[in-house]
Chains A and B, each alone.
Chain A
């Protein structure tokens, strides 16, 4: 096995070159390049963590805004409902008042009209009475010689009309 057989004649050269190459690897690659690469990786990790945190914060803020919007929306709806309810109530009240006024007007018109009708009826009745009295007086004068006075005829006509 050359690794054992040659140990005594080659260990010096082996150690020499190992110290040089491994020393270079340790100082140039391990001590100088590796920390830079680690730094890059750490930087990236930090950036990703920061970005994620920012995204989470933005997400939370968006939720907040949505909640605020929802509350504002609810408030606006409540206000709108209140306005419409009030308007409805006001409209109902006004309509009631107007109906009442109209009722009053109609009632007075009705009373007026009834009064007029009653007056006309009374006027018509007195006219009929007068005409009937005259007619009765004429009829009696033409058919009979008896002389009757106006008050007599009046009484008779009134009695007849009242019977009718």
Chain B
């Protein structure tokens, strides 16, 4: 983190570097086991361990089982509320999406830097959020066209549009529809990146001001640390809210494809 001459680079945390040397090449790309891959695997393992609590399948649930069931119930309810009874069909994807983003967000916030580790937020990478957004968008397109065929285009003409307005409205609606995957992917990427940069910048203030002397440390470092505590709490909230927003928007878009307004 601390680069040469005491400069702290807040962007360093987003750098992808191989954990082990090696890897193989496919189509000009080197596939190596990177820190990003490691944190994706950690997300998978943490999520799998968490889900074990739900696999007890007791009629009277314990705390852990209840926690898992409250997550599944939350996604179930969201899908049924937004899409209708058949919304549960999409639960496996939306649940996977929500839990993957939530766990990746929260794992990236863990204060393991205190023990010398380097937390890495998988969801702060456009490559990841972009792929997830494109998968969501692809599901919307596939469901929409397979269910409604070309009638799916009526999604871009809201009910009661005056006839002369139809071409214009169609273009506007089409544009807003096509922007969806970008807004979906960028929102998560930007939210996570911004929060982590802010935390790193403030952490740099604390370290540099304390190194400059006790007076600077008290005047600059202490307020910065206090602010960091508050922002960390905010970031936990953001981590949950962004996962929720991603899943919610995905379910709303699927609703468009299933029910056409």
Q: Which residues of B contact A21 (CB under 8 A)?
A: 37, 40-41, 43-44, 100
Q: How large is the interface on A (under 10, 10 to 19, 20 to 34, 35 or more residues)?
A: 35 or more
Q: How large is the interface on B (under 10, 10 to 19, 20 to 34, 35 or more residues)?
A: 35 or more
Give the nearest-CB partner of B91 in chain A: A34
Q: Which residues of B contact A31 (CB under 8 A)?
A: 92
Judge if A1 is at the interface, Cβ distance under 8 Å: yes
Give the nearest-CB partner of A31 in chain B: B92
Q: Are B57 and A3 in contact (CB under 8 A)?
A: no
Judge if A4 is at the interface, Cβ distance under 8 Å: yes
Nearest CB on B from A110, distance (A): 95
Complex Cα spacing A146 to B244, Å: 164
Judge if A29 is at the interface, Cβ distance under 8 Å: yes
Q: Are A14 and B128 in contact (CB under 8 A)?
A: yes
- Given the interface pairs A29-B96, A33-B54, the reply to whether A3 lies near B125 with Cβ below 8 Å is yes
Complex Cα spacing A34 to B47, Å: 12
Give the nearest-CB partner of B100 in chain A: A25
In the complex, identify which listed stretch (A41-49, A59-67, A76-84) lies at the interface while the others stay far away. Answer: A41-49
Q: Which of A15, A40, A47 touches B57 (beta carbons < 8 Å)? A: A40
Consensus secondary structure, chain A interface? helix
- Given the interface pairs A10-B34, A24-B44, A40-B69, the reply to whether A15 lies near B93 with Cβ below 8 Å is no
* Apart from A13-B31, A18-B40, A40-B59, 19 more pairs, CB < 8 Å: A1-B11, A1-B193, A2-B15, A3-B126, A3-B127, A6-B16, A10-B16, A10-B36, A12-B27, A13-B23, A14-B16, A14-B36, A14-B125, A26-B93, A30-B92, A34-B72, A34-B92, A37-B69, A41-B76
What are 5 A-B residue pairs whose CB atoms fall within 8 Å in the complex? Answer: A3-B126, A10-B36, A26-B92, A29-B48, A31-B92
Give B contacts to A, CB under 8 Å: 11-12, 14-16, 23, 26-32, 34, 36-37, 40-41, 43-44, 47-48, 51, 54-55, 57-59, 61, 68-69, 72-73, 76, 88, 91-93, 95-96, 99-100, 124-128, 131-132, 189, 193
Closest 8 CB pairs of A and B: A12-B29, A30-B92, A30-B96, A17-B37, A14-B127, A21-B40, A37-B54, A2-B14
